[in-house]
Structure 1
Amino acid sequence: MADDDAQGFQAGQSGLIVRVPEAEPLVRAWRNRLDPSARAGVPAHVTVLFPFLDASRIDEGVCAAIGEVLGRHESFEARFDHCGRFPGVLYLAPEPDTGFRRLTEAIVERWPESPPFSGQFDDVVPHLTVAQGQDEAVLEKAEADLLTGHPVVTQVSAVDLLVHDGTRWRQRASFPLA
């Protein structure tokens, strides 16, 4: 899923994501080649929280609580029309990113034992990963290609819970926004 290498995925890991199906035509080929999470079954997305709880801890009560927390948030629109970079990572940046940040904050407030990216980063930047673990020349080529595409606009109306089964990421539930 989010900026993790394929070997790092473990059975029982979970994460909360916003799918961005409108981005698939633009990013699919690059993600399939350059993003291990795509090869492991994760669609084009913006991460809300990864890692989340171990799958063994996610029961009906946890799902109800996730639905309650997320259901307090209004659906919103996001536009992806430019790229951003982290070291070795190329991503599409959503504008505005405020809605994504609020979803993450709300989930972390409810489950503080699950900080985003295990607390590795001071500022969690919402993004749609296209390539990771690549050299600069590969990232530049991918970015040039992405910028020739049309802007991607999506209506964010749900957050999906994905769980790794030891081989692939699978959707376990979907939670609508208000």
Structure 2
Amino acid sequence: MRVPEAEPLVRAWRDRLDPSASAGVPAHVTVLFPFLDASRIDEGVCAAIGEVLGRYESFEARFDHCGRFPGVLYLAPETGAGFRCLTEAIVERWPECPPFGGQFDDVVPHLTVAQGQDEAVVEMAEADLLTGLPVVTQVSAVDLLVHDGTRWRRRAAFPLAYPGFSG
């Protein structure tokens, strides 16, 4: 899910420290990676994604601190519950696509800022990011990005239901 409200804070850091930024990936929280190969994504798959995600209400996400994985600096949402629900729903529909290939027991929602950088650079980035937090966004859609061999491009966007919508 794109987090455009984070771009002013993270863009310069991501451009320097996160290779996915130069490959066309905006500031985002991943719902599921890897997903189906681009050649398998057709109108039927897109309709199924829309049906699954359309059952969930949009929600507010507040990124209020930084976190780290080995070699990764990220912005962390105050609670990852909304993101986790969306991931679980997509995995339930496509169980052949476990998050991160099944490498991790727990999927932690996060917005990556830096990958594979020296500790001193990561500490400098983190100190700067902390001065701009919190970042608050309304999560109202999920984008499907596909890789064309060089860049990631948005293939489709799937809206979430508005709170209180009963249609």
Query: CA offset at residue 151 of structure 1?
Result: 1.3
Asked whether the 8 Å contact 2:65–2:133 carries over to 1, the reply is no
SS of residue paired to 2:65: strand
Query: CA offset at residue 148 of structure 1?
Result: 1.0
Bigger strand share: 1
Residue 6 of structure 2 aligns with which residue?
23
Listed as ranges, the gaps of 5+ residues in structure 2 are 162-167
Cα-to-partner distance string for 1:90-122 (whole Å, 9 max, x where unaligned): 000012210000000000000000000011111
Q: C-alpha distance in 2, partners of 1:56/1:41?
A: 19
Kindly report structure 1 stretches of 4+ aligned residues shifted beyond 6 Å: none
Query: CA offset at residue 40 of structure 1?
Result: 0.3
Give the counterpart of 1:104 among 76, 87, 95.
87
Query: CA offset at residue 166 of structure 1?
Result: 1.0
Q: C-alpha distance in 2, partners of 1:81/1:96?
A: 10
Query: CA offset at residue 135 of structure 1?
Result: 1.8
Asked whether the 8 Å contact 2:63–2:134 carries over to 1, the reply is yes
Cα-to-partner distance string for 1:120-158 (whole Å, 9 max, x where unaligned): 111010000000101211111100000111411000000
Q: C-alpha distance in 2, partners of 1:63/1:95?
A: 30
After TM superposition, the score normalised by the length of structure 1 is 0.89
Q: C-alpha distance in 2, partners of 1:81/1:50?
A: 24
Listed as ranges, the gaps of 5+ residues in structure 1 are 1-17
Cα-to-partner distance string for 1:34-74 (whole Å, 9 max, x where unaligned): 00100100000000000100011111110000000000000
Q: C-alpha distance in 1, partners of 2:64/2:53?
A: 26
Which range is displaced more, 150-159 or 24-33? 150-159
Q: C-alpha distance in 2, partners of 1:124/1:150?
A: 23
Residue 82 of structure 1 aligns with which residue?
65
The yes-or-no answer on 1:49 pairing with 2:32 is yes
Asked whether the 8 Å contact 2:65–2:78 carries over to 1, the reply is no
SS of residue paired to 1:134: coil
Two-structure CA RMSD over aligned residues (Å):
0.6
Q: C-alpha distance in 2, partners of 1:72/1:91?
A: 28
Q: C-alpha distance in 2, partners of 1:154/1:136?
A: 29
After TM superposition, the score normalised by the length of structure 2 is 0.95
